[in-house]
Amino acid sequence: MIGRRSLNRRILELAVPAAGSIMVLVVHRMVDMAWLRGLGTEAVAAVSLATVSTWVFASLGGLVAMGITALVARYGGAGQEEGGRYVGAQGLRWAVVLGLAAGVVGWFVAPLFFLATDADPGVTAAGVVYTRIYWGGGAFVLLQVACDAVFRGHGNTRTPFKIAILTLLMNVVLDPLLIWGWGPIPGMGVAGAGLATVLAAFVGATLNLLALIRFRHLRREHPGAVAMRLDARTRIGRPRLLGLDGSILVRMARVGIPSSCASLLFTIILLEMFRVAQAAGGAAAQAGFGVGHQGEGVAFVIGLGWAGAASALVGRRMGARQYMAAERAAWAAARQCAWISGVWALVLFVFDEQIAAIWAEDPAAQAHAASYFRIVALCLVPQAIGLVVDGAFGGAGMTLPPMITGVVFAAIRIPLAWWAAFDLGYGANGIWVVVAATAALRGLLIAYWFSRGTWKTRSV
């Protein structure tokens, strides 16, 4: 049995690079916002709202990533590596197909994201362009997410982290070049920021794919029924059109759809929250809300990194039928994440105004963002525990509890936000309080649900 010190070290080995990879995505957005602030509040608000629309891709990514990680890790824990390699290859194929389909849909629905929030015309015009560019390159985004999931299922989070750093450096160079222009390259403003992000995703996906091939983590050919069967309930199929195996998609979806639906509904609800913010404080409140998410996103990324570690560890131990070891790994990851998130919460609370000034030039937007930081800092520890437990549920292949709690607590934010902002007269601050309170309560509830242990009998 692995000792506590060894377990904590293994969690850190997995979680730190995983969090780093996700943090790079957040820093991509921070870099965009930092360069765009010179274009004015409308540009910042446009990218803030566009970022919410791109979270739909995160919901698709959740379907792909959660399913791939759970399946690959389960096969690895069971000692059936060839089955895991085949699942990884199929997961990448399905990620590209889903990304291409979503890109076509996104082109037409992009304006709806901004109409739903009653955004100003200037914000809408710039944001729609950014959204269409991002969605158009969505296949690269999902392929990169899928590659990360394959590596994570094999217990390797360092390789995708190194590649993520390279893509960040590329984005740092491309952002000023495409936003402001240089020499024969015209400045494209908000559109340039979107193009820089998509080009970086393309490079990242390509490098990750080459690395997976070098590590021999992918297998194109079906390995046979014996290698694919985890238990009597395992669904087994064969490659068909375009080499796609529908049984793998079904198994991925069984794990990933609850998480994906929760993420999608959360995005829709958040768009409504941006509308409440606009009603309470105009474009400045919307921009402050978006900037607030950038700062809160640091804690969120930490949570996702440790959730990834919990998912991989739980999945592999479930494959080896080591259920008590899986539970110990999950709670150890939650404890680590809670401590680290608490440190960041303190930073946000103390340096709220200084951090807000990094991304917002308008004093009113800065004030809203600083207030958001102070209030939301109070919920970051229970939120972190909830995120890690979500990952542990995902590693076990049981994602319905995270979906139920996530949807319920996100949905009640809308009536509570209107009530706090207008009926109680707290304005935008009332919205921030609702966000913090619901996040904290949800984290505590999902932790209790996990402690009941029903996930230990889950089959994938």
- DSSP letters of 48-61? HHHHHHHHHHHHHH
Over residues 66-79, the pLDDT tens digits come to 889 889 999 998 88
Which comes out higher in pLDDT, residue 431 or 64? 431
Over residues 271-319, the pLDDT tens digits come to 788 888 888 888 888 888 888 887 887 888 899 889 989 998 998 899 8
Could you give the CA distance from residue 112 to residue 414 in angstroms, rounded to a whole number?
A: 19
Q: What confidence score (pLDDT) does residue 3 get?
A: 65
Per the structure block, which two tokens stand in for 216? 């021999």
Overall average pLDDT of the 220-243 stretch:
88
Give the three-class secondary structure for 156: coil
* Banded pLDDT at 105 (limits 50, 70, 90): confident
Could you give the CA distance from residue 74 to residue 84 in angstroms, rounded to a whole number?
A: 8
Which comes out higher in pLDDT, residue 418 or 296? 418
Helix axes 400-411, 380-395, angle to 10 degrees: 150
Give the three-class secondary structure for 441: helix
When mean pLDDT is compared across 112-116, 311-315, 326-330, 368-372, the lowest value belongs to 112-116
Q: Which of 206-215, 250-259, 402-411 tops mean pLDDT?
A: 206-215
Give the three-class secondary structure for 328: helix
Q: Per-residue pLDDT for 1 more than 60?
A: no
298 contacts 344 by C-beta, under 8 angstroms: yes
Q: What confidence score (pLDDT) does residue 130 get?
A: 87
- Asked whether the whole model's pTM tops 0.85, one would answer no
Overall average pLDDT of the 335-364 stretch:
89
Could you give the CA distance from residue 300 to residue 60 in angstroms, rounded to a whole number?
A: 18
Q: Per-residue pLDDT for 361 more than 80?
A: no
* Banded pLDDT at 457 (limits 50, 70, 90): confident
Q: Per-residue pLDDT for 65 more than 90?
A: no
Which residue shows structure tokens 């870099």? 31
Q: 67 Cβ partners below 8 Å, 6+ apart?
A: 91, 149, 251, 252, 253, 254, 255, 256
Q: 416 Cβ partners below 8 Å, 6+ apart?
A: 434, 438
Q: 131 Cβ partners below 8 Å, 6+ apart?
A: 50, 53, 54, 106, 110, 113, 194
* Banded pLDDT at 117 (limits 50, 70, 90): low
Please state, rounded to an integer, the average pLDDT across all residues of the chain.
87
Overall average pLDDT of the 170-190 stretch:
82
* Alpha helices, DSSP H, located in 78-120: 81-115
Overall average pLDDT of the 173-183 stretch:
83
* Banded pLDDT at 123 (limits 50, 70, 90): confident
345 contacts 380 by C-beta, under 8 angstroms: yes
Strand runs (DSSP E) across 177-248, as ranges? Answer: none
Q: Per-residue pLDDT for 38 more than 80?
A: no
Quick count: other Cβ atoms within 10 Å of Cβ 460? Answer: 25
Q: What confidence score (pLDDT) does residue 2 get?
A: 58
